[in-house]
């Protein structure tokens, strides 16, 4: 094995022994007279030309860069010792030699960059060389030096695999081979290889000092094909780039810094692409010049160079670096296209055919039907099922009990409607439930029926039938194309209203609980001897009560020979006694404990959900805790409740399936309970219900299908509304609540299924990949909801304050990322503390505040309206949001609306703006360059070579005492230190 690896290394490094040791003299002065007539092309233009060249192949792969230094280890012979590595950020071997440092932004000396540039100018550069058949160049080395260089390059490579005998708890449990010292690569493959994509390649940097050279020996090589070079690299990835620097004794630190400089350059996005596309030495020099133009210089004495700069939360885009010039003035409207609205794709086109949109939805979703089940095979799906199930059960109990005091058929209706929708709908990530706006209408309808002596369930049945028919008409006429007119103003106004309803109901339930178990605020510890509660005989006539079937005590036998003072509270109430005393009405422990559980659940859920970004435990453990955050929280506070032992209210679920009312069967009779004209008059309130259902369903669908969620299987607006209409008709016949898309729970469902990269570099934040699109989680949630009646012995241990805390969490979490909430915060935020938002760059602040005020006013009016007797027109007012937004075209310019009301995500708008500027810049510079040189490629290459070579190159003997921070890897607003760049 050693012989085979030595043979490979000899083949690869054989050409280094014949590389020239002295700088090449380009004789530029002799060429000035030849090319003086051609205009100079700047390195920036050269970079834009290199990066702008069309390439049909895949993008350059991710690079892993390793720095090896020639050192004497343990007093033995010289070996190549790995001291640093890069993917995005630098990791160093700590002085103890037992661990890697935390990933940090590489800080380089300006002197090392200048030396590197000089070495590239004078050393050997070979691009696209064959890794196994390297040509033998006529060397400028003596034969004796060739042998010594060969011997040095083939020295043993020692990688950082040594582990300390003492490990932290975070390391315990990791799958580490017992033979790690014998098989280091297999260990590294299991750990560090997870940080690299499959197609990653390596860049090896070898630097060191030797005693047989009088001048530095430098070479930069790019192999035509990446090849495996034995144990050269710590991870088993093929090597593409090699950088060798050997020099005379006494400059080890200088060589190390040059090696760090080239390694940092290789991890830079722009230079990385240049290194892969470069055609000659001058392209590499232009890349170094571009890097030097972008670095931040930190003056000595004003910062501590030993401090390691933390990686930024998000890396800045490198697109604007390729422009490398002043950006043109923006004369557009920010890409808003006249103030927002959804891009009209196939999903929202008006086909002008009968059920045309419905047919297209079916054709679009049918190819993904099988994958909708396969894609759910992940542990993340289990956490989503448990989380959404508990939210759905609580929501059903909270919002679904309007049709009666019992909730037996609430779970059946939720299970039936939800499971069928998730199985056949166009967007199975949407969760159906009884929602706040629908509940408002149901309450009004119930009150109206009672006051006018109508049979409520029959009247409701006909309203549901008419509304279902109206919705089917909307489906047949492709009315869902109107969704394209729902802008951010309408979406956020409605979603914020639903979120506030969730938050309001959570606190309302807790306050109601406190009323049942009041706290004695007038308690005086000095009067404890006078506080008592005793039972005395009541004023009920037991003989009369026995025959009064409506009286709760009528079934009780008359007490005989009892001592009232000895009865318990339950027995006292059972026998009609009265509780007398100042402490009878106060049970402070229950209320206090309930609020502890309520706020504790909310706080812990928020904390554990963001645990994946913490510094504790390995990545896999952090991700698992984050995915199961709500489940862990519920289990934790159920345990706290059981440990304390306070009799807090628990979740009550039915133990059998049966109709809500004992006076009716499973289906509602459509005739006989109301006059015949009521069946026709029901069409009028049904029109209001249709508006409410359409707005509630489609606005939620719009939020779920936003581009920022990166859904790949398409939407199904028409198909979703079709099944909502069918289910509404079925639920009306069965006397079940009407189910429609639940905004808050659907957003929570999306958040629980978000996917992130698994191969993020050390120090780099994982990138959002999209959502796990499937049907299984929704189906399982509603099947479990239906089976809740059989899980009553387990569910009865869950305190209701814990579930109300989950309600509060879902309501607050659904407001995250809502631009309306961000703009509300700007009202209280000084300008110097405001975040860098795209609309703050282009829209005057007073116009932003006016837009926010109008939106808040509309939301307040909707809230007031739903809480008054005028709530019957609530559906129409939701539709009026679209009209209000249209009227704002006369108040705001299209430029301002393009930024304030655009549905494009904030980060995408910034990227779009950068791309627009990049295109404008390219159009004005690259095209002109190509037009000038298109007739003579040789002239172009000469001009580029001349322009790069005439740039000044400082001597390697200069001493520069400043440090630089690599571009695209730092943030000037980093909280770790304050830096004032020059």
| Sign, CA torsion 942/943/947/948 | negative
Give the model confidence (pLDDT) of 708-738 as tens digits: 888 888 888 889 899 999 998 888 888 788 8
CA nearest to 220, candidates 247, 239, 243, 246: 243
Q: What is the pLDDT of residue 597?
A: 93
Tens of pLDDT along 181-228? 334 445 444 567 778 888 899 999 999 998 888 888 888 999 988 888
Mean predicted confidence (pLDDT) in 270-299: 89
Q: Exposed, middle or buried: residue 105 (CB in 10 Å: 0-12, 13-18, 19+)?
A: buried
- Apex CA 711: angle with CA 805 and CA 824, to 5°? 50
What pLDDT score does 35 carry? 38
**For range 153-175, the mean pLDDT:** 58
* 114 confidence band (pLDDT: 50, 70, 90): very high
User: Mind listing the pLDDT tens digit for each residue in 25-64?
Assistant: 333 333 333 333 344 566 667 777 777 765 666 788 989 9
Higher confidence at residue 513 or residue 163?
A: 513
Lowest mean pLDDT among 75-89, 595-609, 748-762: 748-762
> Which of 16-25, 70-79, 662-671, 757-766 has the highest average model confidence (pLDDT)?
70-79
CB atoms near residue 273 (< 10 Å)? 19
Q: Please determine, for residue 535, whether its predicted confidence score (pLDDT) is greater than 70.
A: yes
376-399 confidence digits (pLDDT tens): 888 888 888 888 888 787 777 665
In this predicted structure, the answer to whether residue 265 has a pLDDT above a threshold of 90 is yes
Residue carrying the six token digits 């809500």: 660
Alpha-carbon distance 797 to 788, whole Å?
Answer: 13
pLDDT at 329: 37
Question: pLDDT at residue 132 above 70?
Answer: no
| SS3 state at 538 | coil
Q: Are 917 and 325 in contact (CB under 8 A)?
A: no
pLDDT of residue 66: 93
DSSP 428: T
How is 543-582 classified by DSSP, letter by letter? HHHHH-TTSTTTTSPPP-S--GGG--HHHHHHTT-EEEST
- The band of 243, judged by pLDDT with boundaries at 50, 70 and 90, is very high
pLDDT(176) > 70: no
Could you tell me the pLDDT band of residue 673, with boundaries at 50, 70 and 90? Answer: confident
Half-sphere exposure in the Cβ direction for 54 (13 Å, CA)? 2
Element (H, E) at 296: strand 296-298
Q: What percent of the chain has pLDDT over 90?
A: 11
pLDDT at 953: 42
Express each pLDDT in 789-839 by its tens digit. Answer: 777 778 788 888 998 898 888 888 888 878 888 888 888 888 777 777 778
Cα(527)–Cα(525) distance, rounded to whole angstroms?
Answer: 5
The pLDDT assigned to 978 comes to: 31
Among 194-198, 653-657, 909-913, the range of highest mean pLDDT: 194-198
pLDDT of 69 higher than 60: yes
What pLDDT shows up at residue 656?
57
Residue 514 predicted with pLDDT over 50: yes
The end-to-end CA distance of the chain, in Å, is: 54
Query: CA 49, 55, 58, 60 torsion: positive or negative?
Result: negative
Task: Tell me if 757 sits within 8 A of 767, measured CB to CB.
Answer: yes
CA distance 782 to 806: 18
User: Backbone phi, then psi, for 740, in 5-degree steps?
Assistant: -145, 170
User: Which segments of 645-775 does DSSP mark as H helices, in order?
Assistant: 676-681, 683-704, 717-734, 743-752
Mean pLDDT score across all residues of the chain = 75
> Residue 928: its pLDDT value, please?
45
Q: Which residues of 418-456 are buried (b: 16+ CB within 10 A; e: fewer)?
A: bbbbbbbbbbbbbbbbbbbbbbbbbebbbeebeeeebeb
In this predicted structure, the answer to whether residue 339 has a pLDDT above a threshold of 50 is no
pLDDT of 655 reads: 58
**Quick check: 263 pLDDT over 50?**
yes
Give the pLDDT band of residue 472 (cuts 50, 70, 90): very high
Q: Which pLDDT does position 653 carry in this prediction?
A: 67
How far is residue 110 from each of residues 60, 311, 577, 974, 980, measured CA to CA in Å? 28, 21, 90, 22, 17
Residue 19 to residue 15: CA distance in whole angstroms: 7
Nearest to 814 by CA among 752, 905, 899, 906: 752
Q: How far apart are CA 889 and CA 891, in angstroms?
A: 6
d(CA 589, CA 645): 10
Question: Higher model confidence: residue 649 or residue 165?
Answer: 649
- Can you tell me the mean pLDDT for 160-173? 48
- Average confidence (pLDDT) over 413-428: 86
Burial of 653 per CB tally in 10 Å (0-12, 13-18, 19+):
buried
**Helix boundaries (H) for 249-307:** 252-267, 269-277, 281-294
Half-sphere exposure in the Cβ direction for 868 (13 Å, CA): 9
Q: How long, in residues, is the chain? A: 982
User: Which of these ranges, 15-19, 206-210, 460-464, has the smallest mean pLDDT?
Assistant: 15-19
Segment 7-16, tens digit of pLDDT:
454 444 444 4
| Consecutive H or E run containing 416 | helix 408-424
- Would you tell me how many other CB atoms lie within 10 Å of the CB of residue 199? 13
- Whether residue 135 is predicted with pLDDT greater than 50 in this model: the reply is no
Question: Does an H or E element contain 848, and which?
Answer: helix 845-866
Nearest to 912 by CA among 338, 340, 336, 339: 336
């Amino acid at each position: 094995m050693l012989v085979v690896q030595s043979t490979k290394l000899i083949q690869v490094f054989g050409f280094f022994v014949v590389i020239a040791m002295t700088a090449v003299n380009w004789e530029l002065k002799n060429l000035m007279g030849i090319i003086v007539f051609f205009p100079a092309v700047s390195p920036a233009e050269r970079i834009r030309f290199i990066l702008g060249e069309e390439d049909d192949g895949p993008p350059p792969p991710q690079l892993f860069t390793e720095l090896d230094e020639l050192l004497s280890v343990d007093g033995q012979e010289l070996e190549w010792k790995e001291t640093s590595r890069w993917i995005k950020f630098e990791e160093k071997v700590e002085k103890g030699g037992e661990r890697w440092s935390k990933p940090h932004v590489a800080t380089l000396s300006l002197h090392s960059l200048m030396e590197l540039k000089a070495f590239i100018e004078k050393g050997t550069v070979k691009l696209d060389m064959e890794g196994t058949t390297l040509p033998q160049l006529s060397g400028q080395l003596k034969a004796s030096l060739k042998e010594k260089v060969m011997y040095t390059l083939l020295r043993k490579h020692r990688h950082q695999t040594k582990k300390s005998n003492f490990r932290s708890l975070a390391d315990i449990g990791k799958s580490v081979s017992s033979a790690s010292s014998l098989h280091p690569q297999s260990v590294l493959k299991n750990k560090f290889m997870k940080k690299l994509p499959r197609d990653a390649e390596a860049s090896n940097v070898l630097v060191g000092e030797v005693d047989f050279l009088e001048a530095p020996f430098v070479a930069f090589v790019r192999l035509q094909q990446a090849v495996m070079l034995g144990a050269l690299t710590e991870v088993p990835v093929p090597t593409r780039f090699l950088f060798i620097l050997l020099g005379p004794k006494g400059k080890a630190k200088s060589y190390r810094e040059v090696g760090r400089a080239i390694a940092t350059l290789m991890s830079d996005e722009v230079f990385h692409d240049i290194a892969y596309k470069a055609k000659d030495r001058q392209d590499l020099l232009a890349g170094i010049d571009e890097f030097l133009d972008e670095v931040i210089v930190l003056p000595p004495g004003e910062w501590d160079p030993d401090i390691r700069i933390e990686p930024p939360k998000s890396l800045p885009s490198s697109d604007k670096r390729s422009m490398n010039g002043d950006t043109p003035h923006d004369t557009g409207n920010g890409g808003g296209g006249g103030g927002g609205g959804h891009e009209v794709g196939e999903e929202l086109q008006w086909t002008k055919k009968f059920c045309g949109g419905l047919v297209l939805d079916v054709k679009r979703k049918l190819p993904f039907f099988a994958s909708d089940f396969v894609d759910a095979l992940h542990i993340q799906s289990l956490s989503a099922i448990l989380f959404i199930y508990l939210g759905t059960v609580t929501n059903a109990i909270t919002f679904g009990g309007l049709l009666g005091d019992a909730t037996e058929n609430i779970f059946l209706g939720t299970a039936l409607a939800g499971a069928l929708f998730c199985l056949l709908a166009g967007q199975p990530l949407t969760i159906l439930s009884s929602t706040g706006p629908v509940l408002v209408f149901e309450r009004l309808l119930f009150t109206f029926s009672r006051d006018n002596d109508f049979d409520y369930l029959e009247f409701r049945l006909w309203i549901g039938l008419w509304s279902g028919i109206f919705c089917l008409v909307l489906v047949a006429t492709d009315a869902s194309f109107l969704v394209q007119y729902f802008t951010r103003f309408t979406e956020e106004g409605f979603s914020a209203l639903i979120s506030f309803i969730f938050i309001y109901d959570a606190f309302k339930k807790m306050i109601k609980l406190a009323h049942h178990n009041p706290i004695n605020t007038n308690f005086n510890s000095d009067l404890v001897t006078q506080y008592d509660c005793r039972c005395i005989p009541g004023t009920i006539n037991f003989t009369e009560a026995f025959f009064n079937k409506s009286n709760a005590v009528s079934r009780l036998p008359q007490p005989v020979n009892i001592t009232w003072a000895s009865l318990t509270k339950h027995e006292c109430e059972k026998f009609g006694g009265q509780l007398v005393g100042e402490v009878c009405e106060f049970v402070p422990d229950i209320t206090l404990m309930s609020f502890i559980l309520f706020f504790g659940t909310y706080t812990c859920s928020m904390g554990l959900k963001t645990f994946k970004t913490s510094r504790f435990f390995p990545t896999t453990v952090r991700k698992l805790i984050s995915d199961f955050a709500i489940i862990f929280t519920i289990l934790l506070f159920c345990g706290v409740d059981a440990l304390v032992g306070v009799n807090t209210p628990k979740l009550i679920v039915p133990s059998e399936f049966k109709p809500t009312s004992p006076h009716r069967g499973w289906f509602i009779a459509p005739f006989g309970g109301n006059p015949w004209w009521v069946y026709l008059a029901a069409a009028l309130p049904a029109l209001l219900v249709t508006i409410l259902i359409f707005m509630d369903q489609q606005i939620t669908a719009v939020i779920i299908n936003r581009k920022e969620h990166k859904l790949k299987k398409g939407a199904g607006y028409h198909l979703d509304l079709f099944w909502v209409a069918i289910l509404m008709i079925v639920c009306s016949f069965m006397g079940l609540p009407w189910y429609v898309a639940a905004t808050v729970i659907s957003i929570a469902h999306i958040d629980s299924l978000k996917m992130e990269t698994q191969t993020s570099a050390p120090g780099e934040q994982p990138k959002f990949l999209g959502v796990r699109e499937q049907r299984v989680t929704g189906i399982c949630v509603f099947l479990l909801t239906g089976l809740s009646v059989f899980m009553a012995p387990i569910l009865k241990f869950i305190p209701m304050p814990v579930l109300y805390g989950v309600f509060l969490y879902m309501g607050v979490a659904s407001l995250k990322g809502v631009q309306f909430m961000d703009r509300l915060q700007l009202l209280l935020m000084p300008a110097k503390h405001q975040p860098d938002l795209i609309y703050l760059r282009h829209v005057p602040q007073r116009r932003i505040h006016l837009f926010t005020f109008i939106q808040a006013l509309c939301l307040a009016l909707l809230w007031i309206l739903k809480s008054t007797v005028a709530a019957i027109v609530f559906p129409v007012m939701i539709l009026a949001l679209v009209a209000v937004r249209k009227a704002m075209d006369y108040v705001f310019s299209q430029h301002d609306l393009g930024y304030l009301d655009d549905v494009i995500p904030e980060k995408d708008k910034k990227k779009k703006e950068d791309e627009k500027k990049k295109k404008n810049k390219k159009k004005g510079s690259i095209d002109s360059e190509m037009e000038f040189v298109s007739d003579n490629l040789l002239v172009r290459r000469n001009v580029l070579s001349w322009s790069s070579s005439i740039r000044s190159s400082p001597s390697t003997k200069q001493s520069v005492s400043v440090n630089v921070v690599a571009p695209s890897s730092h943030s000037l607003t980093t909280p770790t230190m304050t830096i004032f760049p020059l």
